[in-house]
Structure 1
Amino acid sequence: MSTLDVAAGAIRRDETIGIVLLLAFAGGYIDAYTWIIHGVLANAQTANLIFLWAHAMAGNWAKAFHFVPPILAFAVGIVIAAWLRRVAGERAGAISTLVEIVLLITIGILHNRLPDLAGTLGISVVAAMQSGMFIKVEGTICSTVMITGNMRQAVENIFAAVYGGAPPGTLRKSGIFFALCAVFGFGAAAGAYATKTIPNLALGIPVIALLIVLLRCETAPREVTG
């Protein structure tokens, strides 16, 4: 955790609730965008893998191979995020966010010129970098690009609080995870609406969210827990 150590009573800038919620919004938004525009999912590689094998087992290899590039691009993005963590230290989150912004702006500008494959690859790399770089909220593992694990933790924390013996703050953690699920869903709804109504400008909205994340990563003081 370096100098911003949760165990010492502080929360890393990139693990604060505000930043993680913004990232969840962007995650849901980008998934909706890629599904509508490219027919694949940027974040949910589980779904892409299922579609790949479902089409393959039906003998529709053209549709099956359509889901291979985003899976491979996601793997590349994870490698980039892991490399940044090694070489950039505490600045890795900010640098990763800046790279994501540049990629999204580039794809947005070239929306009508890039083939579908190029756009899909770029957005999957963006999703993977976010997935690999921002993995905690207030020191607890979470996801900003899918809700399965967040929903599990939300429900488990409620059960622990109701059953008794749960540590202080358990219900608060549950609320945070439910908020992540809700904001991800809101992002997906916003992404679907914007992609249908303003497809050429749709990627500008997650860029704004990521710009706010970048500014907060660079300027926000650490938050101290009570």
Structure 2
Amino acid sequence: MKDKTKRWYSLAPNSLVMGMILALVGGYLDAYTYITRDGVFATAQTGNTVLFAVRAASPEYDGALQNIPPFVAFIAGVLVAEHMKDRLDMHRRSVLALECVILFIVGWLPGSVPNMIITISVAFVSSLQIATFNKLGKWSYNSTITTGNLRTASSASYEAFANQNKEAMKKFISFSAIILSFIGGALIGTYFSTTLEYKAIWIASGIILVITILYHKTREQEGTDEPIEVKESP
């Protein structure tokens, strides 16, 4: 019983609980930037890339320039995450701490600050999270984008229900939980962004702070990414 309790309160890097909380934060940030920053989605770069191409091909091609900074910030976040992985023993906890601090600072910025600054900051934080926490057991997932997770859940559902595959059922349940957590985060983010406006991002920062405190370092010290709660069949 003691070991189970410890596992519940100690968040492991590849655990389902960790993935669900990070997905909740991802959905929250999307809702936050959309509501408080004129309909902008800063955590995913697919739409940003498409807008760049559309604007670059239009007569008002100068507008494409505003899509470049978030794109660069996202790349920078991935590079920083990789650098921290190479240089720091506890790189995952360090990434969480950096994410927490950046989101907290964003909450201090007044509404007069250009939307681009906020978009760049959230894009950077999002890429840090994606590059560092991208495994659910041995399965790849994304805590800020639902498209890939939805495809994985749909594929697993076929194997689970049509072929009665138990491992596929675990996969389907796990990815469904991630998707629902993202949706829940968006709902919560919508409520608080509407009521608290720019300061609402502090809630996301607080959630990341809790994750940082509860993060369980055992697997990271062992230098392995083996699954902790969700296991894939051989």
TM range (shorter): 0.7 to 0.9
Match for residue 49 of structure 1? Answer: 49
Amino acid paired to 1:105: F
Write the mapping of 1:1-226 to structure 2, written as runs, cut at 5 A: 13-38=12-37, 39-89=39-89, 91-112=90-111, 114-164=113-163, 166=165, 168-218=166-216, 223=228
Tell me how far 1:219 sits from its aligned partner.
7.0
Match for residue 5 of structure 2? Answer: none
Cα deviation per residue 1:49-99 (whole Å; 9 max; x = unaligned)?
11222233332334432222111100100101111111124x111100000
Q: In structure 2, what is the Cα distance between the partners aligned to 1:225 and 1:75?
A: 29
Match for residue 6 of structure 1? Answer: none
> Gapped runs of 5+ residues in structure 2?
1-10, 220-226
Q: In structure 2, do the counterparts of structure 1 residues 159 and 78 end up closer, same or farther at CA, with 3 Å as the change threshold?
A: same
8 A contact 2:25–2:185 mirrored in 1: yes
Q: In structure 2, do the counterparts of structure 1 residues 188 and 85 end up closer, same or farther at CA, with 3 Å as the change threshold?
A: same
Amino acid paired to 1:75: I
Secondary structure, counterpart of 2:198 in structure 1: coil
Q: In structure 2, do the counterparts of structure 1 residues 196 and 57 end up closer, same or farther at CA, with 3 Å as the change threshold?
A: farther
8 A contact 2:28–2:186 mirrored in 1: yes
Identity between Structure 1 and Structure 2 (%):
25
> Gapped runs of 5+ residues in structure 1?
1-11
Cα deviation per residue 1:81-131 (whole Å; 9 max; x = unaligned)?
111111124x11110000000001111112335332222211111011001
Tell me how far 1:197 sits from its aligned partner.
1.9
Tell me how far 1:213 sits from its aligned partner.
1.4
Question: How many residue pairs were aligned?
Answer: 214
Q: In structure 1, what is the Cα distance between the partners aligned to 2:230 and 2:178?
A: 20
8 A contact 2:29–2:122 mirrored in 1: yes
Q: In structure 2, what is the Cα distance between the partners aligned to 1:43 and 1:224?
A: 26
TM, length-normalised to structure 1: 0.85
8 A contact 2:12–2:217 mirrored in 1: no
Amino acid paired to 1:196: T
Amino acid paired to 2:126: A
8 A contact 1:34–1:40 mirrored in 2: yes
Tell me how far 1:19 sits from its aligned partner.
1.1
Amino acid paired to 1:77: G
Secondary structure, counterpart of 2:110 in structure 1: coil
Q: In structure 2, do the counterparts of structure 1 residues 68 and 160 end up closer, same or farther at CA, with 3 Å as the change threshold?
A: same
